[in-house]
Amino acid sequence: MTYRIYGGNPSPYSRKLRAILRYRRLPHVWKAGTPETLPEIAQVKPKLIPVLQLPESGELRVDSTPLAYLLEQRHAERSIIPPGAAEAFLCHLLEDFADEWLTKLMFHYRWHEDATALWASHWIVSDAIPSATGKVHDQMAKMFHDRQRGRMGMVGCTPENAPVIEASYARLLDILGPYVGGQHYLFGSRPSLADFGIYGQLSQLVIDPWPQRLCRERAPAVEAWVITLDDASGVDGEWKPERGAAVREALLEMVGAEYLPFLLANAQAMEKGEKEFSVRIRGRGYAQQPFAYQAKCFADIRRRWAELPAEARAGLEGVMEKTGCLGYLQ
């Protein structure tokens, strides 16, 4: 029973799903999204990567988070969801934070600086269109470079928002740097979905020249941790939630101070039909256009909180209040 995953090495979500398949020791074939393979997934909508093909039916599915949960349902061995209801909720919240907030860090650091943007555009074209060489390659790289830079404002990666984004990256490195390494993951000595979500964004940040340099200067252990998680098929660990409590709390403080205020403002703007919203994050202004998908993420987080068993929810209320998350969940 072999899965097929269509994706790209410069895609944080493709790397996230591939790392999950590797850790879970699930047989799979990695198919780069090249002109030769794209017809195989042409019917898939929305047109996102990664695309996972199920082995029995050949059905094609998208969206890395639902795909991770699908694999969880299909395979009991080497689970990536902590067994307790409270820890499972925290795991989902931190993974969502990585997918929807830390991706802004990845996009900003990839396209803001000229030299890194130039490097990234050539890497992406080499990965997606390996047959292109010489002038054809250069033309495609320039076209992709210009397109991605033109999208920066749409996703909030503007010069005005740069101080918020860059401070967030520095804070993330400061939190993870002293902790990660070896078998130190967020819920014990084995990786969780939250670890893989953070890994996905960092898999790009520790490759692109500008953020890689910052990581090596500020928290070199983080790059080594990312390299380990890229293929953690040899990791045999245990769930030990007490081990990562301090680093989880520090990450939850980021969620409460940065991500949840952003999600609330986005959801309110969607409800009002506004074309742009602004929010104060750690005393700084942040503005962008609203997105329906992130409004769905906020609603899903609140639903999961409301559906927690009363005992699990009560056990989390202290840390959620301390980190500034609680008011956004109720």
d(CA 178, CA 220): 10
Residue 119 and residue 185 in one domain: no
Residue 265 and residue 207 in one domain: yes
Residue 209 and residue 270 in one domain: yes
Residue 98 and residue 188 in one domain: yes
Contact of 171 with 122, CB cutoff 8 Å: no
- Is 125 domain-assigned? yes
**Amino acid at residue number 121:** S
| Residue with token string 């403002």 | 265
d(CA 261, CA 216): 30
- Is 303 domain-assigned? yes
Each of the 330 residues of the chain gets a pLDDT tens digit; together they read 899 999 999 999 999 999 999 999 999 999 987 778 888 898 898 888 999 999 999 999 999 999 999 999 999 999 999 999 999 999 999 999 999 999 999 999 999 999 999 999 999 999 999 998 999 999 999 999 999 999 999 999 999 999 999 999 999 999 999 999 878 999 999 999 999 999 999 999 999 999 999 999 999 999 999 999 999 999 999 999 998 999 999 999 999 999 999 999 999 999 999 999 999 999 999 999 999 999 999 999 999 999 999 999 999 999 999 999 999 998
pTM, two decimals, is 0.97
**24, 55, 74 — which closes off a domain?**
74
Residue 204 and residue 138 in one domain: no
> What CATH number is associated with residue 64?
3.40.30.10
The token duo for 18 is 């591939």
Residue 238 and residue 266 in one domain: yes
Residue 223 and residue 289 in one domain: yes
- Is 79 domain-assigned? no
- Is 46 domain-assigned? yes
- Is 287 domain-assigned? yes
Residue 165 and residue 141 in one domain: no
Residue 24 and residue 124 in one domain: no
Identify the three-state secondary structure at position 280. strand
- Total structural domains in the chain? 3
- Is 80 domain-assigned? no
| Edge-to-edge strand ranges of the sheet holding 3-7 | 28-32, 3-7, 51-53, 60-62
> Can you give the residue range of the structural domain that contains 253?
85-107+158-329
Contact of 10 with 204, CB cutoff 8 Å: yes
- Is 177 domain-assigned? yes
Q: Which ranges constitute the DSSP H helices of the chain?
A: 12-23, 64-74, 85-97, 103-111, 114-128, 134-150, 162-176, 193-205, 209-218, 220-230, 245-254, 260-272, 292-306, 310-322, 326-329
Residue 139 and residue 212 in one domain: no
| pLDDT score at 257 | 98
Contact of 51 with 44, CB cutoff 8 Å: yes
Residue 175 and residue 320 in one domain: yes
Residue 41 and residue 11 in one domain: yes
